[in-house]
Structure 1
Amino acid sequence: MRKLTFAMNVSLDGYVAAPGDDLGWTTPNDEVFQWWSDRVDATALALYGRRLWEAMSSHWPTAAQQPGVTPAEHEYARRWLDMPKVVFSSTISAVDWNARLFSGDAVAEITRLKSDDGGPMDIVGATLASSAMRAGLIDEYILVTYPVLIGGGTPFFAALDNWVHLNLVETQSFPGGVNLMRYETRV
């Protein structure tokens, strides 16, 4: 069975985006950016919700050709393009860049994908992750926490029907007060 991880940048008060989907507070330093790039490189399949897909696919396919692109951004763009992706949406009609579109029951499809052979999967997008979270499909949570309070927006954690017990398995500190915490679900 494949492992499913939910990893995102998160504010100290638990949000992945400020109101209006504002991500301006999440500008990563070089070390955090490299961590995310390595994460993308190690992901066998990324599961995207529509909103984050639209944000990522509007930037990364052409990022390497932009003026002033850094070697790290070039590397991330290549890794992102190479990574297989499934986009869950009933409102868009086509995807590109090594992705396929799925418009049916997300929980059923994620359950099916988890039962397949293959490497680790990342779920990308808080709305999609909330469905998987409520269904008990997420094996690991990674919070890359920024020292900022944004007071509202899109929460990292969904409202749950049952408690989810976690084990802290890794912590890492980055410059600028950014901290990573990785938890595995207890079974």
Structure 2
Amino acid sequence: MRKLICGMNLTLDGYIAAVGDDIGWSGPPNDELFQWWLDHEQASELSLYGRKLWETMSSYWPTGDQRPDATPAQIAFARNWRDTPKVVFSSTLDTVDWNTRLVTGDAIAEITRLKAEDGGPMTVGGATLAGAAMRAGLIDEYVIATHPVLVGGGTPFFTALDSWVNLDLVETRTSPGGVILTRYRTTRR
């Protein structure tokens, strides 16, 4: 059975985007933070995206390694992003590119099917898709980079849940700039 990992940058008050889908609060990642995300992405065999996050990622990373100011970690991230199989869940998109397939039907049924397969870890991203996976109890691990900023509103990271989810802390460290990096495993009791 595959493991499903939900990872995201968020504000100290729990938002992945401020009002108006503004993610400017996160600024460009420092080298250590970028490497941390790269390590997690390279460990994943399949990336699951909601439409909004897909549109953000696919607008930059297909050619991110060709930019003149790209760092070695950004080059590695872009290449890994292109090479990693991806699934985009959307009822409004017609096509997707870059080693990606589109699912327009029941996201939870498809994620459940993918989890039941043999294979390495999968990552899930995007507020709506990740929220649905959280509510369905499908997430095995949370990877969070908490930025030292309060935005007061916007798109929350955590969705309303029907019951508690107990977590075990697996990793914590501080990145330059005060970003707290944490990993939690879901405990099944």
What root-mean-square deviation, in Å, do the aligned CA atoms of Structure 1 and Structure 2 show? 0.9
Task: Map 1:30-179 to 2 at 5 A.
Answer: 30-179=31-180
1:17 counterpart residue number: 17
Q: C-alpha displacement at 1:66, in angstroms?
A: 2.1
2:6 counterpart residue number: 6
Amino acid at match of 1:159: A
Name the CA distance, whole Å, in 1 between partners of 2:33 and 2:160: 28
Name the CA distance, whole Å, in 2 between partners of 1:144 and 1:69: 22
Q: C-alpha displacement at 1:8, in angstroms?
A: 0.4
SS in 2 for 1:67: coil
Amino acid at match of 1:146: H
Identity score, percent: 66
Greater mean alpha carbon deviation, residues 86-95 or residues 73-82: 73-82
Q: C-alpha displacement at 1:178, in angstroms?
A: 0.6
Name the CA distance, whole Å, in 2 between partners of 1:64 and 1:139: 31
Name the CA distance, whole Å, in 2 between partners of 1:162 and 1:62: 42
Name the CA distance, whole Å, in 2 between partners of 1:90 and 1:74: 31
SS in 2 for 1:6: strand
Amino acid at match of 2:5: T
Amino acid at match of 1:87: V
Name the CA distance, whole Å, in 1 between partners of 2:67 and 2:144: 29
Please list every run of 5 or more consecutive structure 1 residues that lacks an aligned counterpart in the other structure: none
Name the CA distance, whole Å, in 2 between partners of 1:64 and 1:41: 16
Amino acid at match of 1:4: L
Greater mean alpha carbon deviation, residues 111-120 or residues 24-33: 24-33
Name the CA distance, whole Å, in 2 between partners of 1:32 and 1:135: 29
SS in 2 for 1:176: coil
SS in 1 for 2:66: coil
Q: Which whole-Å deviations, capped at 9, do the CAs of 1:149-180 have from their partners, x for residues lacking one?
A: 01111111000111111111211211111111
SS in 2 for 1:161: coil
Q: C-alpha displacement at 1:67, in angstroms?
A: 2.7
Q: Which whole-Å deviations, capped at 9, do the CAs of 1:76-130 have from their partners, x for residues lacking one?
A: 1111111110000010000010110001000000000000000000001111000
Amino acid at match of 2:108: V
- 4+ residue runs of structure 1 moved beyond 6 angstroms? none
